Amino acid sequence: MNASPFTYRESPDHPGWMTWELTDPTRFNSLFGPFLLKVEDGTARVRMTPRHVHSNLSGRMHGGALLSFVDMAIFAASRGFGLIEAGTAVTLDLSAQFIGRAEIDETVEARVELLRETGRLLFLRGLVVQPLAAGEEVVLSFSATIRKPSAR
C-alpha cells in the first residue's frame, strides 16, 4: 500500500486548524501549500498565503494562481468534510467569477460549501476572500463539481 500523497494533521501553529499539504515538493500543488483548513458550520475554510511566485505583473495574485488555489481548495475542503481521501478524484468543472484583486503576502481564504453529494459526484460552491486591515475583500466566487474516485 502506498503512503498518502498528502499530509493531513492538526496545525501546531494554528490551534483548531488542520494542515493539508502535498508530500512531494516537486509537484505543481506544492507551489501553493501548505494549506490551513477548518470546517465549521458546514463551511470549509481553506487558507494560503500567496507569495511573489503567485503574482502577476501588477504585483497582485495572478488569476491563474487564484484558479489553481480554488481547484486545490475544493479537494482540501472535500477531505475536511470527510468525503474523499487523497488520490484519484478529479475536477469535472470549475466556474469562477473574478470580483476583486488579491494582495501578495496577505492570506487568502476559500470558503467552500457542499451543495450536494451523489454516489460519484460532489457539487460545491464558494467565495475566495482576503481579510485586510481595511476590511474583508471578496476576490472571487466559484462553483465546482468533483468526481469521486472509483472504489478499488
Cell numbers at residue 20, please?
A: 493539508
Interior CA angle at 83 toward 106 and 66, to 5°? 25
pLDDT computed for residue 2 by the predictor: 53
List pLDDT tens digits, range 93-142: 999 999 999 999 999 999 999 999 999 999 999 999 998 888 899 999 99
List pLDDT tens digits, range 19-31: 877 777 777 776 7
Task: Tell me which of 61 and 30 has the higher pLDDT.
Answer: 61
DSSP bridge partners of 78? none
For the chain, which domains are there?
6-147 (3.10.129.10)
Residue 122 main-chain phi, psi, to 5 deg = -120, 130
